[in-house]
Amino acid sequence: MNPTTTKTDDTDTDTATATDTAVETPAGTAADPKDHQAAYDDEHAAEFDQEPHEPQPATEQAGGLATAAAAVVATALGIASLTGTWMGRIASERETLIGQITTSQTGSPAQQISEIYGDAWHTTALVNGLFAVVALITGLIVLTRPQRPLWIRAVALAGAVLGALGLLLSAGMYADLFLSLPTTGS
């Protein structure tokens, strides 16, 4: 008799059972616990807006992560194009300083307004417009990627819409459609 086996009711039972690696199924056969999880995942995939359980290669998972990150970046850039950025503020202040230096000695009031405020205003519009274009392009690229989860498509669409709106507002700001430069009255 094997030292790890005991005799009970005329059957041999292994004292180091295989319960650590297998689960008894109702039919009495041993199954891998991973099979149970996969079956559960397949059964409940519709609840989570996912496809049934199919192992994905690491390259597809990395592509999904990059696409999700790009969708979030597109939305962040779209928001930045609407609210303004630190880069736009610095460029605007630089244009203001250049305008003050240019018109400090000689310059009519209209030229001072144009050089000091108008150039800074247009520079802010250009920087915001660049952020808007990048947001729009990034969002559209993510939207053209095949078969991504719904939340990634939604975030990418939000980024593209915010980018388009930021581009329209920046163009209007640059063309002085919303606010015109102040005049001296003469």
Per residue in 140-183, pLDDT tens? 999 998 877 889 999 999 999 999 999 999 999 999 888 777 77
Q: Read off the tokens for 7.
A: 């005799």
pLDDT at 136: 96
pLDDT digits (tens, 9 = 90+) for 51-70: 555 555 555 555 688 899 99
pLDDT at 60: 54
Residue 44 scores a pLDDT above 60? no
Query: Which helix (H) or strand (E) element contains residue 24?
Result: strand 23-24
In angstroms, the CA 144 to CA 157 distance is 11
pLDDT digits (tens, 9 = 90+) for 3-40: 555 555 555 544 444 444 444 555 555 556 566 566 66
Centre a 10 Å sphere on the Cβ of residue 158 and count the other Cβ atoms it contains: 18
Residue 74 scores a pLDDT above 70? yes
pTM of the model: 0.61
